[in-house]
Structure 1
Amino acid sequence: MTALLVVFMMINFADKSVLGLAADQIRKDLGLSSSAFGLANSAFFLLFSICGAAVGLLADRIRPKWLLLAMAVLWSVAQTPLAVGGGLAVLVTSRVVLGAAEGPAFPVAQQATLSWFPNHRRNLPGALIVLGITLGVLVAAPVLTWVINHHGWRSAVAVVALAGVVWSLLWIPLGSEGPYAATSNTGSPATGSGDRTGTGKGASRAGTGTGPAQRKTPYRRILGTRTWIGATTAYFGTYWVIAFALVWLPSYLHDGMGYSRAASAQLLMLVWGLSGVVVLGQAGLTGWLLRRGVASRWARGRVGGIFLLVGAAACLALPSAPAGAATVVLLVAGFGLTGAMGSVAVTTVMEVVPADRRGGALGFMNAVVTTAGLIAPTLIGHLVDIRGAAGYQHAVLITGALLLISGTAAVTLINPERDARVLSA
């Protein structure tokens, strides 16, 4: 199941990356300014956040298997008109529908994956789902670039649409949820240890059982915890970097930094490759710390926050750095070190929130976080239009400031142990 859902996320981000990889061709073919192209990419997130929250609530009531299947089918349907033809209107409409279908993908995929693992074993599978983001771009970049160069950008859109169909055909017979789909905050099955009826004292104290007498925790209490606020703020910074990298990083490397197409592709692969290494490294380090009894606020919040703060420092230093090796190091660090927070944010919220509220809590978090994807492409496009290549430098400084805020929030606010006690009181 984890492998299938990693592929699910790979397709999800191949869908997102195709326009960035074909940015110059699309802008030339459709006669778009940088602002118009950025707006078309931001249109992807118009319904992304709303649907992420709405389907997150449904995930507490409807089996994630069917939600995931519906999403994958809609991805392919949404992209078909653009693959066939059409101008700016078709491009925008296709991206709006695609965004609505992909908005809930990450939280529901995490929920489905982590249903197979208790809390102390969730770091690696959670990180692997985040790794699907990196793998999707790493695989998509060379494959889709070749398709774009030899067959045109519409053929690349058709390829990612077909990938969604193939995944759906595999998921129908194979997809399912695990034994921890409804668990207590300790990661044990909701029925309790040694209590198959789910009415034991352990389940009652956790406040997350499935019996009719259980009082459900209001979402307003969950969303008001410092941990949820800190994890969401931190993840917002990560998603801003993802949106920047998917839409504008190829153009920034070529037009803003003067690298050739070949060198830009190599640097792009290096950025996403480091991101994948960091995601897995964070999972291993966090798991090692948790097994040795280190509090989750350190093992998750501080580890994830430190990566964000280092990325912030790199982005803030990048515009004034001399061209050469220093620029490459700062670029790769600034854009490659922040991806781990996606896994940290999800596993942290899963640790705090009662089982029957996890889908909604993750959905609301995703809705807030992905507004970064709505803002970043348009803002960066506008900066490029009014300032030329210097607009990219301003965008990098803005990114560094946001990462500084995000990292500080992770380090100072995340405390799952404390907030789990607050919610169970």
Structure 2
Amino acid sequence: MIVAGDFGQLPPVNAKPLYSPDSTVSPIIHAKQSILDQKNTIGKIIWQQITTVVILKQNMRQTAETADDVRFRTALTNMRFAACTNADLQYLESRTISKRDNRPNFSNLEFRNVSIITAFNAPKDKINELGSHKFAEETGQVLTSFYSNDTVADNAGDSQRKPKNVRGRQTVKLKTTLPPNRQQQLWDAHPSFTETHIAGKLDLCVGLPVMIRNNEATELCITKGQEGRVAGWTEATGNHDQRILDTLFVELIDPPKTIQVPDLPRNVVAITKTSKKVWCMLPDDMSLQITREQVLVLPNFAMTDYSSQGKTRAINVVDLNNCPNHFSYYTALSRSSTSAGTIILQGMDAHKITRGIHGSLRQEFRELEILNEISRLRYEGDLPLTVRGWNRRELIRSFRVWK
């Protein structure tokens, strides 16, 4: 088993990092733990048994050699440890938009319709909404609204009596159409009001930037996070006589490989509507579980820092104002391939990237460096047999005794 990652980037959603101290994640499982806590403990135990570590140190994303690119790489290196210097802060300030000379200007055409990386879903949804209307206006088009098909199980709120169990027969949950007022609330809510960010309403036009939100077909590069442009669609009528998407045709932007689907232009793929059970938050703070049928894409004028992970962007526009910690800062900024293509909106909180990292993370980095050295010596045949251990702690202890 091979695992890859970067502890300098964002920690897992709704879970504890693998390097969490024993005071946060128990090293043993006990009966009083919740299921989530048990999973965190199991993950930590498994992680501690991985003793072969190879740290990749060559920067394959920021490879330019200008003076600003060198400053950029230095700032990113320090940012991983929340140890940015005054020189780093001055450099980051130089990449913040301004009307002053030699500073990035967000009105330049090269930044037009580039997805903005932001920390939270609420501003992301609003930027996507505003960006969609602006795009339609600039291209002389009218947005077409496509609504989801929503139904609710009888035990999730809007009533129908639950069917009785009958011996020898499978119990089936009845489904019912939502009342018009409740349905309108769900359509009007932003995608982030559902747990899996499935849009109740998609406003689309040809050429509109979109992001795929589900792994539909990896062999066709229809994967979660893949960016594209709307190329066309087929539509149908939903259970409220509303317009719904049947199939959305998306032109993929810079896919890992060229895609040629029969009877479609190059790199254009067809994405059909999908049915998923999701929890939705209503304006009165009530939660409702529904089955939503929709094409799983979103407008792509903004994305969260989590969604940006793994991407390389020639033009990288970031909004650091709401970034909660140095993980978020580092993740957003390290998507850039060059200093010149890095644009920072608004201001930033220097304290978050200068205050240092938590002791448990610092210890994790230190132990990974030791394990990397042990792995190198083992590969080169220079590691004595006395250096051994079935888990990380024992192996590092024996290595230190040898050293």
- What band does the TM-score fall into relative to the shorter chain? under 0.3
Report which structure shows greater RCO (CA 8 Å, sep ≥6).
1
With normalisation by structure 1, the TM-score equals: 0.21
- Which one has the largest radius of gyration? 2
More strand by share: 2
TM-score by length of 2: 0.22
By percentage of residues, which structure has more helix?
1
